[in-house]
Structure 1
Amino acid sequence: MYIEDIIYSFNFCKYNPIGIHDEHKFPNSSFSAHGTYSSHKPEYARIEETTGINWHTLDYTNGWVMVSAMIFMD
């Protein structure tokens, strides 16, 4: 078994104070990552994928949210 680090950035829809949910299908992969954030923790995004949940910082650029997610795969 090995762990592969994948760093991939994707856009969420524009910031909504009541919370956002978005989904991204990773290229060359059989799973999708689901990202959410809310006004309670606007500085973090929760990335849920097949191996668990990790927290990653958000980068606000021109009203859009860019999430840099490090996904660990077996």
Structure 2
Amino acid sequence: MLTGSPLVSLASPSEKAFTAVERHGVGAVIDVWGHSDRISRDTISVLEKMLQTDPRRRIRLDQVLAHPLFSTIVE
């Protein structure tokens, strides 16, 4: 939604974009697509943490809400 197209079309190792996210992270893919100047560092940071391919490494909801990206809207 941030870039106008999905980050990956299929969450599978056979999907080239999925493998790129898995190996290099969301931020690197956004940079290669030329969108890093339009998406804040805080947004990329929280996306990196939320979109981990290993579910055990994903950020918890309480951590998402405590992230600086949401500091102005969470009370």
TM-score calculated relative to the size of structure 2: 0.25
Q: Which one has a larger percent strand, Structure 1 or Structure 2?
A: 1
Rg bigger for which structure? 2
State the structure with bigger RCO (CA 8 A, min sep 6), 1 or 2: 1
